[in-house]
Chain A
């Protein structure tokens, strides 16, 4: 048994170990703490990359915690999948890879960014705990573990959002997020209880294999969709997003974006791998499409009027989540019909997943740029900022890159994924791509506004002493920019190697179930 079989566990265990080791290592001083922080982040990214390669080469990986087989044969010969499982298909592995890149970028950025604050041992511990929770969410094969990892990620993010606890706004944002999230996650626990009461298992594959689409399943589905849509920041439960994203330190916001995408992953895992065909052309698919359109439009219209730079970007993340919901909702609508699936369903799913990948690269970069502005100019208010392009050339270039990507200007990567979503959603109803395009234009408009007010214009007297941010911060931003450029220059290569295996794994419920149960049960 080669060591690569243990990769799924390592991707979760390394940041978890790092989190609890961080306060101890911090006793030794600043340098060991920073080395530890970066080491754990790099190791997580490395293991995620290896896991992604491993899964794409050998197929879905199933890892049983503390046992060699998934089942527990009883003396009567009956078998139940009772063990704690990690199940990683291409989609999960891709999410783990995306998440770990964001973790690494945020970690590099926060070395200098957080330098002048106290309590950094707790900061590092919570940051790595958030990473562990996020990786657990995308790798688990078990509904109850999903709940546990969501709670781990949530509790860590409450602490991090309120990290600047001398700012009343930060504590208020943290408390608001906590209240909404805690109640929301209890809905997930209720849904798990409903499914457990019907099937006596909490394993996703086993539930998916036996699913009879009756009333308790519908109730459970509604609870799961509502709670997970809340966690990924979709309208109408988006009110925590602008507060939490704007008040958290920038490096944390970078990771929070990735964590919200892990919730989106869980939403689609539930819809496609547990419920699957029984949802085809149902009200649920339409509900997801409508949520997506509302998120896009409401998010972007709220963003246009904002004056604070991080709050503006946070409203944009509400609207960007709408694109993913639209793409995957269209895919879900076509799921039951092979003809529609090959006509536009698969394109929609690929577009949604590619947009997810793009979004998780350029949105953190935008938040890091906002953090860099805050670090250098000590202000987040667009009315105060101005004329910083000459003072901060690298940040300006990185910001333009990310803004062009989010606005979907050709040839940037955002354009490719938006185009896939436009052309596939057109087949369902012409109004859907219209909403998406209007959103895209308003996105461009508001980022032109940010660029013009913050970077262009005459140099202001108050900012005469502003200098470019330190190298380690630029390194974190550069890492994300490098990925964006790669996705921009090689869109077909990325589609073939990253997105298509993930989309096929997501749609193929039989192989997800079969990987755990092996045709048994």
Chain B
């Protein structure tokens, strides 16, 4: 049971982030929600790659015996982190431009496009 705890946390983080994206009204809080969703996805990949008692997946530094944790999810996670960094930066800068145009961060007032 305790071994499943990381997955439960991933699920909770994901739902929490999604909840923030859907129900929050402040743009910055929405951006935080997106980051939480991204963190949940990254955590999930890392958890999949973990083997209990495993060493770091570098052959020359791995230490004696035992097994490696899987290197592929770590590589995937690093890539995903870089991508989420780029999207977060772009999202925050767009929020800044939106604030300049509309003078507010409230999503209910930023809606000239409709219909």
Contacts and interface: CB of A to CB of B under 8 A. Distances in A.
A186 B38 contact: yes
Task: Decide if the interface of chain A is mainly helix, strand, loop or mixed.
Answer: helix
A155 B30 contact: no
Interface string B1-38: 00000000000001000100100000100100010011
A12 B37 CA distance: 29
A477 B46 CA distance: 48
B112 interface: yes
Chain A interface size range: 35 or more
B56 to A, nearest CB: 18
B67 interface: no
Contacts of A31: none
Chain B interface size range: 20 to 34
Contacts of A182: 34, 38, 87, 91
Interface in A140-161: 144, 147-148, 151, 154-155, 158-159
A169 B91 contact: no
Contact of A186 (B41, B76, B110): B41
A158 B94 contact: yes
A147 to B, nearest CB: 8
A193 to B, nearest CB: 5
B83 A196 contact: no
A82 B41 contact: no
A169 B112 CA distance: 7
Contacts of B14: 190
Interface string A304-323: 01100000000000000000
Nearest to B48: A197
A300 to B, nearest CB: 15
A250 B30 CA distance: 29
A144 B110 CA distance: 35
Nearest to A158: B90
B113 A243 contact: yes
Contact of A179 (B30, B41, B101, B112): B30
A313 to B, nearest CB: 15
A189 interface: yes
Given A168-B112, A171-B98, A179-B21, A155 B72 contact: no
Given A178-B91, A183-B21, A196-B76, 8 more contacts: A148-B79, A172-B110, A172-B111, A172-B113, A178-B90, A182-B87, A189-B41, A193-B48
Interface of B: 14, 18, 21, 27, 30, 34, 37-38, 41, 44-45, 48, 70, 72-73, 76, 79-80, 83, 86-87, 90-91, 94-95, 97-98, 101-102, 110-113, 115
7 closest residue pairs by CB, A with B: A168-B101, A189-B41, A197-B48, A243-B113, A151-B83, A193-B44, A175-B94
27 contacts: A82-B72, A151-B83, A151-B86, A155-B86, A155-B87, A158-B94, A162-B97, A168-B112, A169-B112, A171-B94, A171-B98, A171-B101, A172-B111, A172-B112, A172-B113, A175-B91, A182-B34, A182-B91, A183-B18, A189-B41, A189-B80, A190-B14, A192-B76, A193-B45, A196-B45, A242-B113, A306-B115
